[in-house]
Chains A and B, each alone.
Chain A
């Protein structure tokens, strides 16, 4: 998760205050009581605003006593506003929550737990795709969110480039990778790389210092998480970020499986198949893909709209390659809606959260074909809606169906881990240190949990 520091500073600043201003102790949300009045709901993705506005309108029709005011703010400022709202007491009643943030919110007693509501109103936690509901249970064993959507990682590729290279869509869909020689995945990447003179990466005389099109794009070193950068490779080796998830207390960056994968991945840069790390600081990876500078990009499904939007680029989507164990892997991240503990209208807020997590709303979201709702049936509906728009999203949904996903690693000290791992991974990716140097970084990381 790339942090935008500017927003983050305000968030952090406000968090500080929030912490000193509010005292802990979790309270329970419940829909019993007088559910009426106006409540506010915040989200960050403008692409999803129309869907949720419709949910709010439908909800109002069903519950004429409650009006929901939906506000959207871009990611950078969203968290600033959320935390400021906690402090100032004018935050939203209900908001879209993220796994990387909610641990802190729980610690400060800023969320209402939903266990009573789930029990009283018989919310079926099994209707969601497997694992999503579990992500939102805090260290204290209480539930702080109801799942709304999920994301996985896939390969976006330039159709014109692969057909020119004589590679079929089927071949793209059945790539195999291993950390020793990279398998057919590396061969494909090499073949798709073209230098200034038109020589391909697997041809003699390929000039790796003057590459026109890279086989694989690079967004960055991925810090300690690597969600879209390399986690879909390390995940196939049996390696996991932490000893257990969620709330692990030991990181595994010293593992040979991990370091071998990183070494191989880094090797793509040296071979000229992937851009140098230093060249990735600037425009976003999708934009360089849109400029025709890369043939394949690994990215999350939330970027589908971005990739399909580029003028003059024919985009195909393939699943991530299979690994040494013959299976694919993708990090599985989910969002949820949470209730601000400071809400003045917990009853209405609870009703709204339950509505957001219900098939009624998630089907509406599915029909807009922007993200994948958390409810299994709604996911299928979203896939169908994407299909109607001419996009086959099987590469993303397949990972969930085949159970080849692993959950977003949730631990404490996330910011400190990032502070250590970002420079360490940058150093490896820029060729300054060998992958084995990550053992030292791992020791520093694990010292945080002593």
Chain B
């Protein structure tokens, strides 16, 4: 497959390689897209008709109702007539909250992690590798384990139901972010750094003027991944930020899950909500995607 670009005498086998490659890719794309189409189909269905038309590939009793519910535009009675959750949703406020929290997390986490990564990769100091090992070790700590003390801490700091309370635990570092950027900084060209050093530049200047700009591609990638993770987080924001003023989208859209024990979720509402809440990330991806996908340079990993 690596020879695709080359000689003419290989054309025959090459074509076969190309055909099977595209076939594999097509299968992958179908598997990826298929569930999204089903999501869309379900979102455009009447909840009451979903069960009886389970084998209908088109929307069951087509309606925009589920999307209206997501945007909080449907009355209680209308929603119930379509088998949906009746609760009204303050969509735009939740969207704004999600944007604020995710942005806070993304920028500060990536920035602080980059600083730490730089120190782990480019600076010489005693205990460096031990501290880094401990950072990595946190990847192994069961997540269930830390939620409890962290909640208590945020409560004691008086940060329950504040943006900062939701964002704080992931604002300072995550092991993945540090690990990811460190691997990049390790491979940064030494010559440039040394030249700057000889000019009397300090590490802070090297960091801001050389390291960060050089790492713009992986940093953009990390920003996107961090943003996605922050955007999709459910459990933690539910725990510390449930008041409507700071409620994020994932928590707000939780109304589409089961209303009562043993009840069924509002499937069409849930699917419409999922599509709508994935949209901002999709836009972000379209805006920066080219740069990120094509130049995600780990050129540094060595």
Find out whether A and B make contact in their complex, taking CB atoms under 8 A apart as touching.
yes
Residues 222-243 (chain B) with a chain A CB within 8 angstroms: 234-235, 238-239, 242-243
Q: Which of A72-80, A119-127, A171-179, A394-402 contacts B (4 or more CB under 8 A)?
A: A72-80
Residues 139-181 (chain B) with a chain A CB within 8 angstroms: 144, 147-148, 151-152, 155, 160-161
**B255 contacts A by Cβ under 8 Å:** yes
B259: contacting residue among A46, A290, A313, CB under 8 A: A46
CB atoms of A10 and B263 under 8 A apart: no
- Chain B residues within 8 Å of A299, by CB: 262
CB atoms of A2 and B155 under 8 A apart: no
**B294 contacts A by Cβ under 8 Å:** no
**B52 contacts A by Cβ under 8 Å:** yes
In the assembled complex, how far is the CB of residue B219 from the closest CB belonging to chain A, in whole angstroms? 33
* Known A-B contacts A14-B239, A49-B76, A49-B87; A290 and B160 likewise in contact (beta carbons under 8 Å): no
B261: contacting residue among A1, A16, A313, CB under 8 A: A1
CB atoms of A13 and B87 under 8 A apart: no
CB atoms of A309 and B48 under 8 A apart: yes
CB atoms of A310 and B52 under 8 A apart: yes
In the assembled complex, how far is the CB of residue A190 from the closest CB belonging to chain B, in whole angstroms? 24
CB atoms of B235 and A6 under 8 A apart: yes
Size of A's binding interface in residues, CB under 8 A:
51
**A84 contacts B by Cβ under 8 Å:** yes
**A113 contacts B by Cβ under 8 Å:** no
- Chain A residues within 8 Å of B48, by CB: 290, 309-311
Size of B's binding interface in residues, CB under 8 A:
41
Report how far A292 CA is from B254 CA in the complex, Å.
Answer: 29
* Known A-B contacts A76-B254, A309-B83; A45 and B260 likewise in contact (beta carbons under 8 Å): yes
A291: contacting residue among B54, B242, B256, CB under 8 A: B54
Which residue from chain B places its CB closest to the CB of A370 in the assembled complex?
Answer: B80
Q: What 0/1 pattern do residues 25 to 59 of B give for CB contact below 8 A with A?
A: 00000000000000000000011111110100000
A290: contacting residue among B51, B76, B239, B243, CB under 8 A: B51
Report how far A311 CA is from B81 CA in the complex, Å.
Answer: 11
In the assembled complex, how far is the CB of residue B60 from the closest CB belonging to chain A, in whole angstroms? 8
Residues 1-47 (chain A) with a chain B CB within 8 angstroms: 1-2, 4, 6, 9-10, 13-14, 16-17, 44-47
CB atoms of A310 and B51 under 8 A apart: yes
In the assembled complex, how far is the CB of residue B142 from the closest CB belonging to chain A, in whole angstroms? 12
* Known A-B contacts A9-B235, A49-B76; A17 and B155 likewise in contact (beta carbons under 8 Å): yes
Besides A88-B160, A309-B47, A311-B61, 7 new A-B residue pairs in contact (Cβ under 8 A), listed by A number: A47-B259, A74-B254, A75-B259, A87-B155, A90-B243, A284-B264, A302-B260
Top 9 A-B pairs ranked by shortest CB distance? A290-B51, A46-B86, A284-B264, A291-B51, A287-B51, A311-B49, A309-B48, A88-B160, A46-B87
For this complex, 30 residue pairs linking A to B, each with C-beta atoms less than 8 Å apart, are: A4-B261, A6-B234, A13-B148, A14-B151, A16-B148, A17-B152, A46-B87, A49-B76, A49-B87, A74-B85, A74-B256, A74-B257, A74-B258, A75-B263, A77-B238, A77-B254, A77-B257, A80-B238, A80-B242, A84-B242, A87-B155, A228-B262, A284-B264, A285-B262, A287-B51, A288-B51, A289-B51, A290-B50, A303-B260, A306-B264
